[in-house]
């Protein structure tokens, strides 16, 4: 194998990136473009699918040009993507019939309520591992079919295709030759049976979705087609939803590993191995990255809808900061907060509460509270929300967490990581490579391409810093009790 590099397409909620890794897992180049956000109505969030494809193509070409790396030296491409975001496109033209409905979007609450009223809650949990919520793709797809003129008629005659962002990118990059996805992305649609590993006929019927729209599902390390660039065919050998890719990159192919990715949201996964654990505490069960000829593993997952997005809110809407990097120094410059809490329920509350009607709130404001205190409380909310999920995970699994592996943009913030460690009372392990989501996708592709073996992958991850708890138990309990009170008040207010 004389090829030297692996490329990762990292298509996220707020940006689109292409990253080149060498054989040692080191980054050789990055190209990134910020993704436009569209909010046509309150609670609605959309992306332009063509912008996503064009940005991915542009960053791909830019990073090769900037680094001088030749396409013939690329062994394979791995794709990792924002999950649940839903695209429907015309099979003949390859054009989307509507904007992509983003995972954060909650317009399908009424569809979800109908499914619950029809008694499908238990069925959904037992067969898909999920809960009925607007978060997942199935109800978004139904909304498009029900609301875009002519869509349902076209779907019924096999003219429309559905996919999450991975499927959309693969379809476009392979010039319509491949309509595929992987197990991790399929498991987020609320249409896929994660026990039988097939599309679920009962749920397709309940949502009135033609099976002809759905992509073929493959293991996460497979041949998904190829990208042609300057007459060179580069195979797409790895695909995984961003959170499962991050778990894989953190060494989470083994049971017992837990990680949190601090991105637009916060996503905590615990690999349970072959055990299908049904949560009693508001978590969901999902598939981890799958490899050929190996049994599937299941993970418990808790999704916090608003993580880093709340820092964007401070920057773009409140104009309190110019850059997210400012928050660490600001937090360190003021005393510890007393009874001030920001509950960033801007898209409802995710795990373990699943309250789609919740709205954001700030509690404990007094005359001495200024912008720095609001910034600090917003940052600390990421740690509190993570603790909510970890607590539920420990109760479901019956095992106490000893270390949390972290990644994502906000994990670079030392104040947040120390506060996370303190409020959890467990060690927090941050790798040198915090671009672990992209690395996970690259690893999946590299395995298929023969660049790496499983043993190689274990040695690629290096520790940057391990944070050790310093907070006394009384302070920890007081702070977390105050947080739970703020959550309770938020839910009560929205129930009034």
Rg of the chain on CA atoms, in Å? 22
pLDDT digits (tens, 9 = 90+) for 371-387: 999 999 999 999 999 99
pLDDT digits (tens, 9 = 90+) for 310-342: 999 999 999 999 999 999 999 999 999 999 999
Record the tokens describing residue 79, joined without a space: 């794709």
Q: How many CA atoms lie within 13 A of 455 on its CB side?
A: 0
User: What pLDDT, on the 0 to 100 scale, is given for residue 310?
Assistant: 94
Cα separation, 286 vs 243, whole angstroms: 11
Q: How many Å separate Cα 413 from the centre of its chain? A: 20
User: What pLDDT, on the 0 to 100 scale, is given for residue 495?
Assistant: 66
pLDDT band of 187, cuts 50, 70, 90: very high
Rounded to two decimals, the pTM is: 0.85
User: What pLDDT, on the 0 to 100 scale, is given for residue 347?
Assistant: 84
pLDDT band of 279, cuts 50, 70, 90: confident
**Would the pLDDT of 473 be above 80?**
yes
**Would the pLDDT of 209 be above 60?**
yes
Q: Greatest CA separation found in the chain?
A: 66
Lowest mean pLDDT, pick from 83-87, 176-180, 406-410: 406-410
End-to-end CA distance of the chain: 64
pLDDT band of 350, cuts 50, 70, 90: confident
**Would the pLDDT of 451 be above 70?**
yes
**Would the pLDDT of 255 be above 80?**
no
Q: Which helix (H) or strand (E) holds 18?
A: strand 15-21
CATH of domain 5-239: 3.30.420.40
Cα separation, 309 vs 263, whole angstroms: 8
CB neighbourhood size of 437 (10 A): 31
User: What pLDDT, on the 0 to 100 scale, is given for residue 207?
Assistant: 97
pLDDT band of 496, cuts 50, 70, 90: low
pLDDT digits (tens, 9 = 90+) for 31-85: 999 999 999 998 899 999 999 999 999 999 999 999 999 999 999 999 999 999 9
User: What pLDDT, on the 0 to 100 scale, is given for residue 252?
Assistant: 66
Mean pLDDT for 155-183 is 97
Q: Provide the residue ranges of all domains of the chain, joining segments of one domain with +.
A: 5-239
User: What pLDDT, on the 0 to 100 scale, is given for residue 433?
Assistant: 82
């Amino acid at each position: 194998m004389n090829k030297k590099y692996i490329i990762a397409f990292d298509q996220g909620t707020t940006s689109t990136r292409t990253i080149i890794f060498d054989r040692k897992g080191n980054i050789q180049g990055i190209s990134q473009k910020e993704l436009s956000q569209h909010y046509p109505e309150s609670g609605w969030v959309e992306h332009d699918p063509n912008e996503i494809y064009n940005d991915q193509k542009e960053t791909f070409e830019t990073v090769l040009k900037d680094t001088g790396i030749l396409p013939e030296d690329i062994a394979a491409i791995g794709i990792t993507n924002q999950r649940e975001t839903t695209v429907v496109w015309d099979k003949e033209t390859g054009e989307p019939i509507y904007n992509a409905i983003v995972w954060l979007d909650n317009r399908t609450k009424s569809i979800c309520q109908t499914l619950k009223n029809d008694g499908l809650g238990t069925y959904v949990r037992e067969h898909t591992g999920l809960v009925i919520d607007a978060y997942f793709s199935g109800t978004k797809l139904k909304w498009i079919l029900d609301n875009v003129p002519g869509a349902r008629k076209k779907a019924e005659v096999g003219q429309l295709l559905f996919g999450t962002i991975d499927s959309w990118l693969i379809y476009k990059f392979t010039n319509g030759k491949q309509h595929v996805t992987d197990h991790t992305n399929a498991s987020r649609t609320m249409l896929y049976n994660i026990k039988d590993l097939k599309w679920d006929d009962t749920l397709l019927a309940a949502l009135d979705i033609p099976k002809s729209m759905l992509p073929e599902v493959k293991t996460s390390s497979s041949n998904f087609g190829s990208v042609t660039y300057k007459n060179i065919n580069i195979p797409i050998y790895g695909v995984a939803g961003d959170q499962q890719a991050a778990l894989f990159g953190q060494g989470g192919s083994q049971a017992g590993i837990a990680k949190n990715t601090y991105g637009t949201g916060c996503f905590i996964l615990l690999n349970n191995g072959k055990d299908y654990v049904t949560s009693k505490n508001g978590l969901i069960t999902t598939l981890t990255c799958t490899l050929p000829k190996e049994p599937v593993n299941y993970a418990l997952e808790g999704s916090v809808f608003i993580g880093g997005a709340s820092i964007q809110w401070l920057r773009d809407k409140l104009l309190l900061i110019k850059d997210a990097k400012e928050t660490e120094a600001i937090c360190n410059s003021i005393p510890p907060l007393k009874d001030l809490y920001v509950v960033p329920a801007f898209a409802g509350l995710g795990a373990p509460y699943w309250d789609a009607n919740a709205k954001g709130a700030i509690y404990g404001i007094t005359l001495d509270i200024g912008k720095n205190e609001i910034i600090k409380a917003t940052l600390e909310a990421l740690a509190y929300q993570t603790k909510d999920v970890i607590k539920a995970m420990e109760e479901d699994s019956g095992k106490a967490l000893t270390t949390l592996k972290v990644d994502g943009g906000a994990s670079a913030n030392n104040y947040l990581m120390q506060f996370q460690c303190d409020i959890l009372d467990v060690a927090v392990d941050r790798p040198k490579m915090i671009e672990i989501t992209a690395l996970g996708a690259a690893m999946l592709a590299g395995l298929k391409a023969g660049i790496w073996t499983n043993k190689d992958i274990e040695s690629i991850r290096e520790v940057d810093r391990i944070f050790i708890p310093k907070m006394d138990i009384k302070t920890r309990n007081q702070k977390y009790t105050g947080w739970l009170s703020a959550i309770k008040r938020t839910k009560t207010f929205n129930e009034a």
